[in-house]
Structure 1
């Protein structure tokens, strides 16, 4: 299998040469930096503790420490962000030559401070047209510089695709260790308690520190397999679906596939079903059409 991929997510504001050397000496092979943006005013608005300068320094220090697989996270659609600001962020990211770039649109979660600010009209987010223009910009610029889009929000140089991410989208099991970690084992998804003291107490009692388990009905497993795979460039592997569930993909989703093809959102080949370029833009809508449970 070669060298295992061992990724650590890093906050650029807390990284220094000593920590990087420590990680390198303990077989960490990949670093992921939550940069988000190279504009200090935007970083303050979204509550990040690092500066753009610290982000640049952290990535350069990582290279100096010998890390050859580095990811950089960016966000778009931030409060007060313009298209020119996003272009500047992309240019800065490319200048640092990471091996992998993840770029996500800002999502408002109900109950968060951002959600409340938006409800009160105080957040000043880019409008839908601007957000779409930002999406078009990043999906054009990154592939033009050698970063292939292998998943909706992820771009990589050849051979630098995240193994963990690919495993997640290909319905492979994973074990999460530590407080608040998530796992997917034996067809069940669960999370550990977020309370560190409670987590330690459970371990010392010889108990599993789980706080939530999701029943994995056949329908739920099918729909998860479908919409997770659709996030990738390859899409749903028909043979893999049949191996896992014992029935052809079309026996479950023929109507859905036909409907999405008619809208120009899906393409079907002999081996797979995948999103079109238009479908990627409206991925959440397509995914919802693959839900089998109310």
Structure 2
């Protein structure tokens, strides 16, 4: 931290905790809480003391330049990376104080849509979506079929159920990955740059789908992106990362109207400001 945080634009920890306390007081619930999380790879400090909560039944978008720690943060939330310091709280439990078995159970509450959909090339779309149910439950195949076909219908992929991932478009792979992320009825859904590799129209359609499904089912959605239009369209809350620090967090309108130099520059795409080519 630099002084009171205004020099670098980062949000002071005390202010973040105050925001969390205020949200708790107004009834906002937090399934996922981040407390002073730090992570370095060698001498490179990727996350440098992040503290904030993700509001339940809301879509929180994490923005920031490439390489600023957005995807690393998601891996901490789902328990794939252990922080060097700090806590990741899920359902009020520090996931790294839990046993490996408890951590595996907690992960069942998460759905994850990876950048490229991360589909198994040897399985068709149907079997890709059914995979979590077959691996983590003892449901009969008839019940699995009912669930999978329902999710495929929800994302508009019933006609592609028997196709291989290599036979469908990039947008269809994303939708299949979304269906798989939802198939266990997760409390938390994480999106790692879902708009990556999509043209503007398909990005907009995917955003519409995210909004539609969230409206129908609720849940804590956390979406990592660097696409400003996506953030404008889907976000209830926006967090902005820069150099491993949280420089803004709050309701979407606050971020979009922020006077902070970095936040204003990044959200406007202006070449003039603290963010350069380095």
Structure 1 length as normaliser, TM-score? Answer: 0.23
* Structure number with higher relative contact order (C-alpha < 8 Å, ≥ 6 residues apart): 2
More helix by share: 1
Q: Higher Cα Rg: structure 1 or 2?
A: 1
Structure 2 length as normaliser, TM-score? Answer: 0.24
